[in-house]
Chain A
Amino acid sequence: MASSISKRNRRNLILSEITLIIISLIIMAPVLLALSMSFMKPNEVYTFPPKLFPSSLHWENYKEALQLVDLSRMLLNSAIVAFFITFGKLITGTLAGYAFANFQFKGKNLSFMLLFITLFLPAETVMILPLFLIMKQFGWINTYYALIIPFTASATNAFLMRQHFMTIPKELSDAAKIDGATSMQYFWRILLPLSKSMLGGAALINFVYAWNLYLWPLIVTMDDKMKTVQIGVKMLIDAEAANNWGTIMAGTMIALVPTLIIFFAIQNLFVKSLVSSGLKG
C-alpha cells in the first residue's frame, strides 16, 4: 500500500510539474513573444503562420524605436521621477510611521483617520481634473514638480512603517532614552537600521508603482522632453500604427525591462513586503 501511495504521489507530482511549466509559459508568453518580435526584420514580422524566433538578432528595431521617439530622454525622466517619488515616500512614510508607532499625542486618532481616508481618494485617477487645474495655477505643467511632488506622501507607506515599527521591542527605545539619546538619534541610529529589509521592500513597491504611472504623466506633460517612457510607448504605437510591430515591441522592451529586472532580482523581498503591507495594514 505504501508503494502505491508513493506511486500516486509521484504521478501527481509530475502532473503538477507539467501544469506549472505550461502555466508559466502561458503567463510569460506575451513578454517572450514581444521580445522575440523585437529582434525580427520587417519581412519576418509578417510571415504567415507567424514565426516564433527571429532568424538573427536584428538590433535595428531598437535603434529605430529610439530615433522615432526620444525614448532615451524619456527613460531618464522615468528614472528621475521614480527615484524621487520613492525617496519622498520613504522619508514622509518613515517619519509619520514613527510618530504613530512611538508617540502619544493630542489628535493622534484624528490625524490617523485623516490619513486613512486618503486611501480611498486615489489622486492619480479620480481627482485627475482638479489636480491638473491646481498644477496649472502653480505653473507646474510640463515640470518634474508636477510629476513627482503630488506622489511623495501616501497613507500606505505611513501605515506600513507604523506597523513595522510597532514590532520593534519597546525596551530598545527605553534603553536609548536612558543612554541619553534624543528621539531623532534613536530614529536614525537604531530604528532605521533595524528596518532595512522593510525599507527595501517598500522602496521596490514604490519604485515600480512610480515607474508605471500612466494617466498622470499623460495629461501633465505636453512637451516630449518631459514625457515618461510609458507615454513614449503610446507615442510609438501612434507613430508606427501597425507599420512595424518589431519597432513597437523594441520600444515596449525598453520600457519594461528596468522594472522586470528589479523584480526578478529581488522578488522575495518584494513579495514579503507586499503581503505584510496588505495583510496587516
Chain B
Amino acid sequence: MSWKSKLTPYLLLIPTFIIIIIFIYWPAAYSFKLSFYQESFFGNRSVFVGLENFIDLFTDPEYYTVVLTSFLYSFSSVFITIFIAFLISQLLVQNIPGTRLFRLFIFAPYAISPAIAGTLWSFLLTPTVGYLNYLFLELFGINTDWLTTTPYAFIAVMLATIWKMLPFDLIFYIAGLQSIPDSLLESSMIDGANLWQRMWKIKFPLLSPITFYLFIMNFTTTMFASFGIIDIMTKGGPLGTTTTMIYKLYLDAFAFQNNGSAAAQSIIMFAIMGIITVIYFKGVEKSVHYQ
C-alpha cells in the first residue's frame, strides 16, 4: 500500500470495527430493543410492553436492595483497597533489600482470576478445613460458616475482592511515587515534616490523579467484573445479601429466562457506566488543569 492511498487508514481500521460493531454495538442496540419486550405467558412470543420492564424494576423494593448491595460492596471494597495499597506502596519504593522479590509476591493476585480467587477464599473460610476460619476461632471466638451466614458472607466476598484488586492499585501507586521528585520530599524533611505528614500532606495530594483513576477503575471492576468471586463463593446468598446488580442480571437472564427484565437491567447498568464516564472526564479535565 502506498502512503498516498486514501484507503489505507480505513483498511487498517476495518478489522477492529467489524468486531466491535457485531459484538459490541449490535448487542448494545439489541439490549435496548429487548428491554421493551416481555415473553408472553404461553409460548415463545415476545410482546411489546413499552417501559413496563423498567417500571417493574423501579417499583420493586427488592431491586433497590440489589442496587444498594452493589454500591455498598463496591464502595467499601474500593476505599479499603485504595487505602491499604497507598500504605503498602510506601514500603515498596524504599529500596529495601529484597524489594524485587516482595513485589513479585505482592503483585501475584493480579494474575489470578476472580473465580480462582473466590475458590481460594472459600477454602480458607470453610468451617471444616479452613485456615482462616480456624484463626478467627482462636483469635475472636468466631466459628461460623462464613459463606452462608449474614453478615459474614458479605465480608468474605469483600476480603476476596480486596485481595484480588490490591496489586493493580499497588502497581499504579508505586509508579506514581517513583515519579515524585526527591527534592520535593527532601525540602519537606528540612521543614520538619514527619513520615506521616509527608505521606498524607505531600504524597497523597500529589498522587490524587492516580487515586482518582484507581477509584474509577476499581469501581467498574467491582460493579461488573466481580461476578466470578460471587458466583463461586456465595451464589448471591445468604438471603440475597451478596446479590449485586450483575449477579441479578445473570440470574434473570439465564436462570429465570426473564429476558425483558434482564435487558432493562443492563440498560440501567449502561446508564451507571455513562455517569462514571462523565465523572471520569470531568475529573481528568480538572487534574490536567491543575498540573
Q: Verify A275–B171 contact, CB threshold 8 A.
A: yes
Q: Verify B224–A122 contact, CB threshold 8 A.
A: yes
Q: Verify B227–A153 contact, CB threshold 8 A.
A: no
Return the contact of B277 from the options A103, A120, A129, A248 (Cβ within 8 A).
A120
Which of chain B's residues 74-111 have a Cβ closer than 8 Å to chain A?
Answer: 88, 91-92, 94, 96-99, 101-111
Contacting residues, chain B, for A31 (C-beta < 8 A) = 108, 112, 120
**Cβ of A276 to closest chain B Cβ, rounded Å:** 9
Q: Verify A131–B23 contact, CB threshold 8 A.
A: yes
Q: Of all chain B residues, which has the CB nearest A231?
A: B115
Contacting residues, chain A, for B116 (C-beta < 8 A) = 212, 230, 233, 252, 255-256
Q: Does B283 contact A (CB under 8 A)?
A: no
Known: A103-B9, A248-B123. A123 touches B128 (CB 8 A): no
The proximity string for B residues 1-45 relative to A, scoring 1 for CB distances below 8 Å and 0 otherwise, is 111011011101101111110111111101100100000000000
Q: Verify B213–A149 contact, CB threshold 8 A.
A: no
Contacting residues, chain A, for B24 (C-beta < 8 A) = 118, 121, 123, 127
Which B residues fall within an 8 A CB radius of A? 1-3, 5-6, 8-10, 12-13, 15-20, 22-28, 30-31, 34, 88, 91-92, 94, 96-99, 101-117, 119-124, 126, 128-131, 134, 163, 166, 168, 171-172, 175, 210, 213, 217, 220, 224-225, 227-228, 231-232, 246, 249-250, 253-254, 259, 262-263, 266, 269-270, 273-274, 276-277
Contacting residues, chain A, for B28 (C-beta < 8 A) = 121, 127, 130
Known: A34-B120, A150-B19. A278 touches B213 (CB 8 A): yes
- How many A-B pairs fall under 8 Å by CB? 267
Q: Verify B1–A182 contact, CB threshold 8 A.
A: yes
The residue in A149, A153, A245 that gathers the most chain B C-beta atoms within 10 A of its C-beta is A153
**Cβ of B213 to closest chain A Cβ, rounded Å:** 7
Q: Verify B108–A129 contact, CB threshold 8 A.
A: no
**Chain A interface: which size bin?**
35 or more
Q: Verify A262–B30 contact, CB threshold 8 A.
A: no
Contacting residues, chain A, for B88 (C-beta < 8 A) = 23
The CA-CA distance from A190 to B5 in the complex, in Å, is 20
Q: Verify B34–A130 contact, CB threshold 8 A.
A: yes
Q: Verify A245–B134 contact, CB threshold 8 A.
A: no
Q: Verify B103–A46 contact, CB threshold 8 A.
A: no
Q: Verify B129–A95 contact, CB threshold 8 A.
A: no
Q: Does A37 contact B (CB under 8 A)?
A: yes
The proximity string for A residues 20-34 relative to B, scoring 1 for CB distances below 8 Å and 0 otherwise, is 110110011111011
Known: A123-B23, A134-B27, A267-B103. A96 touches B16 (CB 8 A): yes
